[in-house]
Structure 1
Amino acid sequence: MAVANVVADELRTQMEKYDALRPGRQGLEDFVRVYLSPEHRDQPSTGCPSAALLDEIGRCADVTKQASTEGATAIVEEIAARLAPADPQSARGKAIGLFTMMVGTLQLSRALADRKFADEVLERGIENAHTFLD
């Protein structure tokens, strides 16, 4: 149960940060840049629990997976609401795609010993996110 509580708390903290973003798509673009930044990559203990712990969460009990599901759902809903404020449900698929692309990009960048390549992965991730959003 302790792991589930930590995952839930960390995802809740991450969601609270979104309130400080500019509204709408501009805030979403800010979110992409912050999420795929070298600073976020280099701070896995204080960054997104999804990018840091997915492989571990996959091996945890259902209560931990449920906490992760609820947090990921909230993030996807926030992204969808910024993509299509009048009808967030219509943007759900795109929101899932964007979030999964960002998490994977951050995970790969964290796993690379070559800092220049790791930075390039982040930059291409930002470019791909913008292309994806257009």
Structure 2
Amino acid sequence: MFDQLPLGRDAAAVRRRIEAMEKLLERSFTVPGINRPVGLDFLLGLVPVVGDVAAAALGSWVVWEARNLGMSKFQLARMMGNVGFDAVLGLVPFVGDAADFFFRSNTRNLRIIRRHLDKYHPGTATVEG
């Protein structure tokens, strides 16, 4: 999956990298029985403090990529707010684990980035099926 990701700074390459990171962090596999996708963010959240810091760092990388796209400061602040809220909740035992399961900051941030890319770089849009 990651071996085919482009290293360029163009909008299409950034979009593919961010979508791959979001999938890794939020939808890597499905929990049997409840059919709910979870990812590395949830698993890292199970490790006290260190896991939450690592998950926040990975989420911040998505915001860094968005910054390189030239997104507005307001959009970047919203995205950092999502990552920060997820990180702060993650520090609370059990509550943080539930928050990682239901509050998907990386998916929310991907939605913000996709809106920006669809508006300013429509050639990068992909059809999901």
Q: When the two structures are superposed, what TM-score results if normalisation uses the length of structure 1? A: 0.39
In proportion to residue count, which structure has more strand? 2
The higher relative CO (CA closer than 8 Å, separation ≥ 6) is in 1
In proportion to residue count, which structure has more helix? 1
